Structure 1
Amino acid sequence: MRKVLLIDDEVMILQLVEQALLRLNYSVETAENGMKGIDKFDAGNFDLVITDVCMPETDGNRVVDHIRNSPRNRTPVIGMSGTPWKLANHLFDRVLPKPFHLQRLMETAEKLTSRAA
């Protein structure tokens, strides 16, 4: 079973995306901010990370920087943002501007995790 780390400071987004991923038979861990996401990434082994970009304290750009400088630096990362002009980080594998269709996110997750398999 493929394992996804989902990071977002908006609870509704976490719940919605988590439910969609569960329907595709992903195992999902969630984190409600970037720092908790980094801690979970370091403690786990994930096939994909999906992170909001604009979050208080530790944002998604710092999350992807941390992942790219880790021993598991090839883990695919999807960045989500309602403010795509703040996406200064080219280290994301894909970027989805909010709002997006869940189908697009699911297709992107499938492509990135099947490529890693």
Structure 2
Amino acid sequence: MVTLQAMIDDLKKRLDPATVGMFACHNGVVRATSRSGAPATALDIDCDRDAWDRVLADVRSRPGIAAVEAYLHTGRRHVGDDVLLVVVAGDIRENVFPVLEETVNRLKKEAVKKEEHLS
């Protein structure tokens, strides 16, 4: 099973510690309600892999960023299940936090396909 901690541990083994002063993470889960407030039971998740790869290639090139890794749990996901995991490693928070936010937003907009199942 892929976890944020496993992703961080892998990056710590691969990255030059001189370039990494922090890791920032996102762990998206299935909510019990839709954005409109309607009760939800599950999400069906799929991914446009070409768009996914394009987004990651772009954000990995940003100043101060040593690595960006992301994992998407696809298929049927139920309330409380993990969906999108993102780890950004970089030098300082002024570089890392904006890239984390942009990565999550762009992956969700450009690559992640989801269908909500409402109660």
Would the TM-score normalized by the shorter structure come out above 0.5? no
The structure whose Rg is larger is: 2
Question: Which structure shows the higher helix fraction?
Answer: 1
Q: TM-score, normalised by structure 1?
A: 0.26
Question: Which structure shows the higher strand fraction?
Answer: 2
Q: TM-score, normalised by structure 2?
A: 0.25
Structure number with the bigger relative contact order (C-alpha 8 A, sep ≥ 6) is 2
